[in-house]
Amino acid sequence: MRKVLNLAVAASLMSAFIVLPARAQELGDVSTAFRWLGKNDRIAVEAYDDPKVVGVTCYVSRARTGGVKGTVGLAEDKSEASIACRQVAATVTFKGTVPQQEDVFSERMSILFKRLHIVRLVDVKRNTLVYLTYSDKLIDGSPMNAITAVPVAASTPIPVK
């Protein structure tokens, strides 16, 4: 029984550090609450370039918990996030085919079990990329979410798997 528990804990720890190819670039943050020790609570704004869609960037704002726990990475961030994805190049191009639905980015929001996700969905009928952000937790996820869409020029059909 103890070996099973140890394996479950090890698997959970490993999954907490898995990161998909997209990398965030922190653009800035604003302080929302003063903390005597450690960083203040804040809202961070980050940019994520879609790794399979050249010319599309997603901008996400989300709460970051400060204090001593937040400074050392032990605090659990709140589940609220906002997303806006935009075409940032003259044309949108694709690195091969894209799945109908794919987790583009995932990052931990607490030391264990809670993650922020950005998912890309393809609306083939409207030739549009739809991006969803939400957070999940191993036991109890949050219904908080945000959505945005990027229309692709009709002359560039989305290559869906």
Within-domain flag for 54: yes
Give the Å distances, CA to CA, from 16 to 27, 98, 112, 131, 137: 24, 25, 6, 22, 11
Within-domain flag for 157: no
Q: What percent of the chain has a predicted confidence (pLDDT) above 70?
A: 70
Within-domain flag for 159: no
Within-domain flag for 160: no
Within-domain flag for 112: yes
Q: What is the pLDDT of residue 29?
A: 84
What is the end-to-end Cα distance of the chain in Å, rounded?
43
Mean pLDDT (the chain, rounded): 78
* Diameter of the chain measured on Cα atoms: 59
Within-domain flag for 32: yes
Within-domain flag for 158: no
Mean pLDDT of 150-159: 92
Range of the domain at 122: 2-151
Segment 49-107, tens digit of pLDDT: 999 999 999 999 887 777 666 666 656 666 678 899 999 999 999 999 999 999 998 87
Q: Which pTM value belongs to this model?
A: 0.75
Task: Give 3-state DSSP helix, strand, coil % of the chain, rounded to 5.
Answer: 15, 50, 40
Count of the separate structural domains present in the chain? 1
Within-domain flag for 85: yes
- Residue 84 vs residue 6, higher pLDDT: 84
